Amino acid sequence: MRTILRGTTMRLLFLLCAGTILCSAQWTIQHPVPTSNMILDAQAMNKQSVIAVGLNSTIVRTTNGGVTWGAGRTKLAGIYYTVQMLDSLTGWMTGSTLSYAAYMHKTTDGGVTWDTIGLRKTAVLGDLFFVDKMTGFAGGGFSSSSLLVSTTDGGVNWNPVPISFTMPVSRIFFRDVNYGWIGAQDGKMLRTTDGGKNWTPLTTGTTSAIDRLYFADTLRGYFVAQQKLYKTVNSGATWLPVTVPNFASVSDLFFVDSIKGWIFGSGTYKTYNGGKTWITVAASGSVNLAAMVDTSNGWGMGGSALFATTTNGGGSWSEKGTKLSVSDMKDVQFFDADTGWAVTGNEFFKTTNSGATWTKKSSFGSFTVYEMRFVDSQNGWVVGNAQGGTNGVLRTTNGGSTWTGSATGSMRVHYCVSLTSATHGWVGADSGAVYASTDGGATWKQNKINTTRAVTEIWMTGPLKGVAMDDKGGIYVTSDGGVQWSNTVVPGVSSSSSLWMIDANNGWATFNNFTAMKTTDGGNSWTGKAIGIENLADIMFVNPTVGYAANTNKKMYGTKDGGTTWTQIESPGTIAALYFTSPTDGYAVGSGALIAKTTNGGGLLSVMPSAGSQPPSDFLLQQNFPNPFNPSTTIRFRVPSDGMVNVTVFDAVGRTVSQPVNGPMSAGSYDLQFNAAHLPSGVYLCRLQTAATTEVRRMLLLK
């Protein structure tokens, strides 16, 4: 039995979710596992297998009880609202793109790959219901309009179904090909007894969205609206509210027949008499979304659980995901390819295996972290707000296992920190204050920048030279270790957010919400350009040419020419901080305790010119190496002249699974890194195509 998102969340999704930016296979979510995105719907096929869909193109699945997780893949990214599996292989999913285009997706391999089929409407497609493999309905709408369509050929063709709703369809439920009910965003409901040819209006007693709908037979049914449970015994002609224990809020329900069922929300309760009385299974809410297999076994999501299983009908839950924190990540840094650290407002995490696993090492209590810096694998500082205490700086000398407080002598908020060694550090604070230590934070000397603003970024490129920035776009330069600071005027600047110096002369900063600027003289002068239209949250450069920036609206940008031009790349979410250990390998942290990793620069550097290559005289697609491969391989190709180039990877039946190149390219030899972690084992075809020539190579993926 499938389960569907309920409550206020779905109502808001119809109004707001089309503003969500998409996530892609360019990034791997390392925390939380299996996803940091909101799950909107899930279905359990059995005790070991569940598939869940949601925001940011999220499709996650497991077939071994959550020991490992995989991601599904579609040709069209978007928000995926509802999933329904008719068996272990065949299922459907609704989705909508950012431009309010509604699509239906179908899988025949258990959710690994999805084909976009049939329906293409301008709407938010919020729900579907297939009676069998051929007959199904899908519904939604847009703003104050409704949409209902049906298919009798397994989704190949969809036909409009006339209905009297003036608001979007929110829920669909059919007992068989004839008997069905649909609910709307304004609480209205319709019933059909002839497969949707004719509809009868019903009185629900609510003007809130119908968020969950189930009928045990043609007479007795339940729905949820505004976290309240309603019941009918006359096919929906009239509905009455059901009194539940402790006036619990209801977010999901599961019934096996007309009298035996469960409700989930602020608590878990079960009934054996059709809702007349309820037995408390769990007094507090562990899950908000339940995908039950039977009366004992099922999966739960939301609440205090990321993904969890139950074997006693929801009485207790066993966590199957990894969620070390629910707070937003604030900063991230790596010492080398393996060792890195991340912090929330008051928690510290560490990895020693490139983020394959993260361990929570410390909790800072009432201390609120603003920034973190490590100078080597053992020595690092965090600065922030001591919440009334005097220790505005915390220091570690053992890689973060333990931390010691250090008092600068000020009660101000400490916003930023820069280290040049384990002993030499600088801290910026409110009212232009800069504190310097040459003995590892044992003692401090206060210096002053000529400003009343907060010093929010500081970057010392050596023991004497450095650049600082205040929160209003002021830039300050020192050449005597921070004793004196000279103000650099950047014309037209009124705000700032991040600073990155790659050496004593070259650096980049973000100003005026979405402007990235560059200095080549140690911060004395700046030139730059706007990136996008949203506020930039962070910027960093791996070397003088390759850099990355993230904004506050789930967008990321990359440059391969030192910031002269920027390209929008895929983003894994709302990003607060970036750190790249190489031009291709990087990490992004942000909202919802997100930690994500890319191995191709978020897509920016998936295609690189071959080392030492010269413009070729012929066209060539070489055999990928290694081959067979698992999961990555290099595809090397040559194009003899400038022009449009397309590289597409197909599966054995000709479906497109990846299109890493589709645009203008200069003549040259290129190395394309292809990662097939999301694909099943099998034979794939790589096609290189230009206006004049086409060539194909066979690739073998063995997992």
Asked if the domains at 3-319 and 607-701 fall in one CATH topology, the answer is: no
Q: Is the pLDDT of residue 56 over 60?
A: yes
Q: Give CA–CA dist 586/357, Å, rounded.
A: 15
pLDDT of 15 reads: 32
pLDDT of 75 reads: 74
**Percent of the chain with pLDDT strictly greater than 90:** 59
Q: Which two tokens stand for residue 152?
A: 């009798």
Pick the CATH number of 3-319 from 3.30.390.30, 2.130.10.10, 3.30.479.30, 2.60.120.10: 2.130.10.10
Coil vs helix vs strand at 592:
helix
pLDDT digits (tens, 9 = 90+) for 300-346: 998 767 899 999 999 999 989 888 988 999 999 999 989 999 999 99
Q: Give CA–CA dist 506/589, Å, rounded.
A: 25
Q: Give CA–CA dist 52/37, Å, rounded.
A: 11
Cβ atoms within 10 Å of 102's Cβ, excluding its own: 25
* Higher-confidence position of 268 and 73: 268
Query: 385: pLDDT confidence band, cut at 50, 70 and 90?
Result: very high
**What mean pLDDT do residues 536-546 have?**
92
pLDDT of 163 reads: 96
**What mean pLDDT do residues 31-45 have?**
90
Q: Give CA–CA dist 506/499, Å, rounded.
A: 11
Question: What is the domain class of 607-701 according to CATH?
Answer: mainly beta
Domain ranges of the chain: 3-319, 364-488, 492-605, 607-701
**What mean pLDDT do residues 493-508 have?**
93
pLDDT digits (tens, 9 = 90+) for 10-33: 333 333 333 322 334 578 889 998
The residue assigned the tokens 């809410």 is 285
pLDDT digits (tens, 9 = 90+) for 396-427: 999 999 999 999 988 889 999 999 999 999 99
Q: Which two tokens stand for residue 380?
A: 């690092």
pLDDT of 225 reads: 95
pLDDT digits (tens, 9 = 90+) for 595-639: 999 988 887 766 555 654 455 567 889 988 888 888 888 898 988
Q: Which two tokens stand for residue 667?
A: 């003549």
The CA R_g of the chain, rounded to the nearest whole Å, is 28
pLDDT of 120 reads: 65
Q: What is the CATH number of domain 492-605?
A: 2.130.10.10
Query: 372: pLDDT confidence band, cut at 50, 70 and 90?
Result: very high
pLDDT of 4 reads: 35
Q: Per CATH, is 364-488 categorized as 2.130.10.10?
A: yes
What is the Cα 665 distance to its own chain's centre? 31
- Rounded to the nearest integer, the mean pLDDT of the chain is 88
Q: 3-state secondary structure string, 505-528?
A: CCEEEEECCCEEEEECCCCCCCEE
User: Poorest-confidence range of 76-80, 189-193, 317-321?
Assistant: 76-80
Q: Is the pLDDT of residue 102 over 90?
A: no
